[in-house]
Chain A
Amino acid sequence: MSDALKLTDVSKTFPVGRKLFGAPKGQVRAVHPLTLSVRQGETLGIVGESGCGKSTLARMLVGLLEPTTGRIEIDGEALDNADPAVFGKRIQYVFQDPISSLNPRKTIRQVMEAPLKHLYRMGADERRKRIAEIFASVNLREEFLDRYPHEFSGGQAQRIGIARALAAKAKILILDEPVSALDVSVQAQVLNLLADLKREFDLTYLFISHDLAVVEAVSDRIAVLYFGAVVELGPAEEIFANPRHPYTRLLAQSAPVVGRPLTAPEAKGTELPDPLNPPPGCAFAARCPRATDRCRKQVPKLDSGHASSVACFHPLDEG
């Protein structure tokens, strides 16, 4: 299978304390150089806690942010400037907050027509036909088209968001926490819809979430992000069942599961390192029970020896 999306050393650095003229005071690295590929037709899950850089990564992938370094390839073609209009036909984005991703002063029809008009220059008749098709595939009634966003529930609005992403005919969808604003009963509906659409249109998904169980349920492979870097990447069925990175294990043990007694898996502080003053070695070392001097001095690279790759000097499967 070919790679639908390929990232090579993509990173993002934000300046801090910018002045009117002259150099900024400091820099924060939100995403460390990251190399990753998503295969055609795959769902790659990206999981991490707040501040791990997953949203920055997502915004770079659709051209809303320009990467500081690195290369983004879609179907073998490099796209590393930041022009969402160029990205738009190939890769689309489904937002976390379904209501605020719709302009409150536009009807759903206007929202749906925008990509058809501006990306494909379709005529009015063609647009109407296409919108009808898309709405049918996301199970939305056409009468919704002339209503305004505030008239919809979160679940319906998220379907509209998905429909808009489909309208651009992109083959890759970035799903940024698409169900975390929804109630559990609606969440399952949307997840199932996403699975159906994927099969029907042969889509590739990048599914970003903080909810381990949700990511596990929808993904083929999962990448675990910590402090802007991938610490572990492996098959979904393996990664939480047999974690290799201590942080992955910590995540898996922290998730509340029915039938497992309450244990605080970590006694040390839970603070993330200071982004303005990052540690020289592994970012997780301060919280890690297995950390050695080497971890505090050197940054571990993502190895790729096993079914899953891990960025750790002392992975859990090595005693």
Chain B
Amino acid sequence: MRAFFILLARNRLALAGGVVLALVVTLALVTPLLPLANPDVTDTSNRFRPIFSEGALLGTDHLGRDLLSRLLWGTRLSLAVGFAAAIFAASIGAAIGIIAGFYGGRTDNVIMRGVDMLMAFPYILLALAIVAALGPGLFNALIAVSAVNVPFFARNIRGITVGIAHKEFVDAARLAGLSNTRIILSEILPNVVPVIVIAMSTTIGWMILETAGLSFLGLGSQPPQADLGSMLGEARSALITNPHTSVVPGVMILVIVMSINLLGDGVRDALDPRLKSGALTRPMAATLVDRQGPVPEPTGKGLLEVQGLKTEFHVKDRIYRAVGGVDLHVEKGECLGIIGESGSGKSVTALSLMGLVASPPGVITAGAAHYDGEDLIGAPYPRLRDMRGRNVAYIFQDPLATLHPLYRVGDQLIEAIRAHRPISRAEGRAKAVELLEAVRIPNPEQRVSDYPHEMSGGMRQRIGIAMALANDPDIIIADEPTTALDVTVQAQVLTILDDLRRSRGLAIVFITHDFGVVAQLCDRVAVMYAGRIVEEGTTAEILDFPRHPYTARLMACVPELGGGKRRLEAIPGLPPVVDRLPPGCAFAERCLKARPDCRKGEIPLEPLGRRRIRCLYPEDESREVAQ
């Protein structure tokens, strides 16, 4: 709760809206105590007195009534009616929505059909019909406005409830013996309340507008009583001769509604967890590069050479050092595996190369990635875009999310080609079919016009591979391309990748957390921990004799098929959080061999035989740790 108000106050616009609204509400509350003229006493000899006249600060209206007094009393009425309508509509709508969403099935069906029926009316028709039936009057207008808003709340809240009702914690509550009523009250409601508050805060302004509207039409408050809408309605006939009588109530409505909307947006931003974590910022076309210090010169090692790469995420006042200085290189036609647990920085390293890390919050703060002598990190956007897909292509993890759902797979393939060279439609189609054949999709002539959702996960990932091949790149970066797939499908996709690389001389950077996959596919492997490479060498050497304690322990705790029932060698503790990295070795905390000097100073990645290792006390070469 306190955090909510702090967040709200930090939003300057919302604060301004809150202050103005508080002022208006206070004025409305104290109106009966103020020394004002009676708002309803007419004095026709003093009609249409202008603003700032003596005795009438805002002038008088067509019956000579004091405008200031009428304005404050009207504001009081409008606010009360607007808030009442909002609360009324929100509570009834939310109750309906929760019941429909929670019980589902037939209950849901019947309720939602009714709601749909009500939403089939343009809302004012329903409101007009209700007022026509009940007769004009402010209270009837209130009923009409809240009634027409109930369906909107019901539908909105139902959607949220359905999502929550299928969450695992609701199942857990059932297994803990909670009844449906209790589940609604203690599991669903607390999670729905923020949404109700958001929906209310963003619609209160609108409800005030609507009741004012009905009064404006003469269907709301009846004379002599006036809310802001009916003041405006009465003033309309004198609009041209005495505009101030219209402007005064009109501006008041504007001020109230605008301050409520500003505050409402602030409330929404403060309550919506997605907005809180900054999730709704638009990633830029390329990752922000802000390199302090000198850019490393290329040494000509390999086709792609990464030196001292550092990528950070700046979230509010925290800095997450996702990649903390990575050096690696890939030869032509070579497959390099990068292995690590989640949060080790392996994916961020891969995405940094072509500027695909979402930015904000991502920033590349140091290092270089030389492709054929050209620094990719420092490349201007047009050059980077030109090289994306043509020189370095990507395959991503989840093949459903990474393909555009509304374009046919063939068109997505053709687009990949067209981004780099103009080709005719027919030529593009032929090339797309050819690509599908290359990844062994059966019936490519037909599948080329499929949409992604019409394919299985394995087929979709083949499309992902075909798309990466479209411009015959030299390097493919595959970011956990088989993690989302079943084992039998994974085996096929891996085989396709392996065959393609051998037949086309592709270099592959393969990111994974699976030692089995690395062993089967990669020539060399780099092991990452807490944003840095801890060990790197040929796959055979590292897997046979891991020498960094982390590599050794990690391999030992993965069960291997064929080992039978057994106790696993777990690594105690958790990987460090990358915004609070300890000095020295990041693994020291969990390492059985750690000594005091492991926790001090920078430990370099140094050559050891044919591999490189970041450890002061590597495992003994003679000892076969894997056993």
Residue A50 at the B interface, CB < 8 A? Answer: yes
**In the bound complex, CA of A188 to CA of B573 (Å):** 11
At the interface, yes or no: B27 with Cβ under 8 Å from chain A? no
CA distance A50 to B400 in the complex (A): 15
A218 CA to B559 CA, complexed, in Å:
10
Tell which of A115, A192, A210, A216 touches B567, judged by Cβ atoms closer than 8 Å. A192
Given contacts A97-B168, A262-B520, contact A254 B488 (CB under 8 A): yes
List, in ascending order, chain B residues with CB within 8 A of A164's CB: 172, 176
Question: A306 in the interface, Cβ–Cβ < 8 Å?
Answer: no
Q: Does B190 contact A (CB under 8 A)?
A: yes
A101 to B469, CA, bound (A): 41
Stretch at the interface among B105-113, B281-289, B409-417: B105-113
Q: Of the 9-residue stretches A128-136, A264-272, A292-300, which lies at the interface with chain B?
A: A264-272
- CB of A260 within 8 A of CB of B520, answer yes
Tell whether B420 is near chain A: CB-to-CB under 8 Å: no
A53 to chain B, nearest CB (A): 14
Q: How far is the CB of A207 from the nearest CB of chain B, in Å? A: 11
- Is there a chain B Cβ closer than 8 Å to A25's Cβ? no
A63 to chain B: which residues have CB within 8 Å?
Answer: 174-175
Q: Is the CB of A257 within 8 A of B487?
A: no
Instruction: Map CB proximity to B onto A115-127 as digits: 1 under 8 Å, 0 otherwise.
Output: 1001100000000
For residues 263 through 282 of chain A, which have their beta carbon under 8 Å from a beta carbon of chain B? 263-266, 269-271
Find B558's partner among A153, A184, A192, A216 (CB 8 Å cutoff): A184
Q: Which residues of chain B are near A263, meaning CB under 8 Å?
A: 491, 495
What's the Cα separation between A269 and B226 when bound, in Å? Answer: 75
Chain A residues, Cβ within 8 Å of B553: 185
**B99 interface residue (CB < 8 Å to A):** no
Q: Say yes or no for B581: interface residue by CB 8 A criterion.
A: no
| Interface of chain B, main secondary structure | helix
Q: How far is the CA of A101 from the CA of B515 in the complex (A)?
A: 29
B342 and A183 contact, CB distance less than 8 A: yes
Other-chain contact of B575, A96, A119, A185, A264 (Cβ < 8 Å): A185
Contact between chains at A183 and B341 (CB < 8 Å): yes
A217 in contact with B571 (CB, 8 Å): no
Which residues in chain B, 157-209, are within 8 Å of chain A measured between CB atoms?
167-169, 171-179, 182, 186-187, 190-191
Q: Is the CB of B621 closer than 8 A to any CB of chain A? A: no
Q: Which residue of A lies closest to B555 (CB)?
A: A258
A5 CB to closest chain B CB, in angstroms?
A: 16
Task: Judge if A1 is at the interface, Cβ distance under 8 Å.
Answer: no
**B191 to A105, Cβ gap below 8 A?**
yes
With the chains together, A62 CA to B168 CA distance in Å? 13
Q: Does B350 contact A (CB under 8 A)?
A: no
Partner of A236 from B516, B543, B564 at Cβ < 8 Å: B564
Please report which residues of chain A, range 1-36, place their CB below 8 angstroms from some CB of chain B when the two chains form the complex.
20
B513 interface neighbour in A92, A184, A192, Cβ under 8 Å? A184
- A68 CA to B278 CA, complexed, in Å: 46
Query: How far, in Å, is B355 (CB) from chain A's closest CB?
Result: 27
B77 CB–A CB distance under 8 Å: no
* Contact of B190 with A105 in the complex, beta carbons under 8 Å: yes
Q: Which one of A85, A106, A266 lies within 8 Å of B174 (CB-CB)?
A: A85
From B556, which residue of chain A is reached at the shortest CB distance? Answer: A188
Q: Are A258 and B175 in contact (CB under 8 A)?
A: no
A85-B177, A236-B565 are known contacts. Are A264 and B570 too (CB-CB below 8 A)?
no
- CB contacts (< 8 Å) of B516 on chain A: these are 255-258
Contacting pair A185 B557 (CB below 8 A): yes
Interface assignment of B445: CB less than 8 Å from any CB of chain A: no
Q: Which single residue of chain B is at the shortest CB-CB distance from A94?
A: B172
Given known A114-B176, A115-B175, contact A101–B168 (CB-CB < 8 A): yes
Interface status of B442 (Cβ within 8 A of chain A): yes
- Indicate which residue in A49, A100, A168, A183 contacts B176 across the interface (CB closer than 8 Å): A168
A-B contacts at CB below 8 angstroms, number: 206
A188 to B342, CA, bound (A): 15
Which of A115, A218, A258 lies in contact with B560, CB distance below 8 A?
A258
Q: Which residues of A contact B560 (CB under 8 A)?
A: 213, 257-258
Query: Are the CB atoms of A254 and B169 closer together than 8 Å?
Result: no
Q: How far is the CA of A97 from the CA of B167 in the complex (A)?
A: 10
Q: A250 on the interface (CB 8 Å rule)?
A: yes
Complex contact A185–B176 (CB within 8 A): no
**Nearest Cβ distance between residue B221 and chain A, in whole angstroms?**
41
Report if A119-B574 is in contact (Cβ < 8 Å); known contacts: A185-B557, A260-B520. no
**Which residue of B has the minimal Cβ distance to A247?**
B488
Most buried by A among B490, B519, B553: B519
Residue B568 at the chain A interface, CB threshold 8 Å: yes
* Beta-carbon contact of B568 and A266 below 8 Å: no
Say yes or no: is B486 at the interface (Cβ < 8 Å to chain A).
yes
**Which of A64, A188, A214 contacts B570, CB < 8 Å?**
A188
Which partner residue on chain A sits nearest B543 by CB separation? A258
- The distance in angstroms between the C-alpha atoms of A118 and B553, with both chains bound, is 43
Of the residues A85, A95, A105, A271, contact of B171 by C-beta under 8 Å: A95
CB <8 Å contact, A270 and B557: no
Q: Which residues of B contact A103 (CB under 8 A)?
A: 169, 173, 187, 190-191
**Provided the pairs A236-B564, A257-B562 are in contact, do residues A188 and B571 lie with their beta carbons within 8 angstroms?**
yes
Within 8 Å of chain A (Cβ to Cβ): is B456? Answer: yes
Most buried by A among B113, B177, B182, B341: B177
Chain B contacts with A in 440-460, Cβ cutoff 8 A: 442, 456-458
A309 on the B face (CB < 8 A):
no
Q: Which residue of B lies closest to A87 (CB)?
A: B175
Complex Cα–Cα for A214 and B563 (A): 10
Give the nearest-CB partner of A95 in chain B.
B168
> Of A153, A218, A269, which contacts B565 at CB under 8 A?
A218
Whether, in the assembled complex, B7 has its beta carbon less than 8 Å from a beta carbon of chain A, the answer is no
A256 in contact with B557 (CB, 8 Å): no
Q: Is B606 an interface residue (CB 8 A)?
A: no
CB under 8 Å from chain A, chain B span 94-117: 106, 109-110, 113
Some 24 contacts from A to B, beta carbons below 8 A apart, are: A20-B109, A64-B171, A64-B174, A84-B171, A101-B167, A101-B168, A101-B171, A115-B177, A168-B175, A184-B557, A187-B557, A189-B570, A195-B567, A210-B487, A213-B560, A218-B565, A237-B564, A237-B565, A251-B488, A253-B491, A255-B561, A256-B491, A258-B515, A270-B458
Q: Which 9 A-B pairs have the closest CB atoms?
A: A256-B516, A118-B177, A188-B570, A264-B495, A188-B557, A217-B559, A101-B168, A115-B176, A84-B174
A interface residue numbers (CB < 8 A to B): 20, 49-50, 59, 62-64, 84-85, 87-88, 92-93, 95-97, 100-106, 111, 114-115, 118-119, 153, 155, 161, 164, 168, 183-189, 191-192, 195, 210, 212-214, 216-220, 236-237, 240-241, 250-266, 269-271
Q: Given known contacts A115-B177, A255-B487, what 4 new A-B pairs fall within 8 Å (CB)?
A: A50-B457, A97-B168, A255-B561, A264-B491
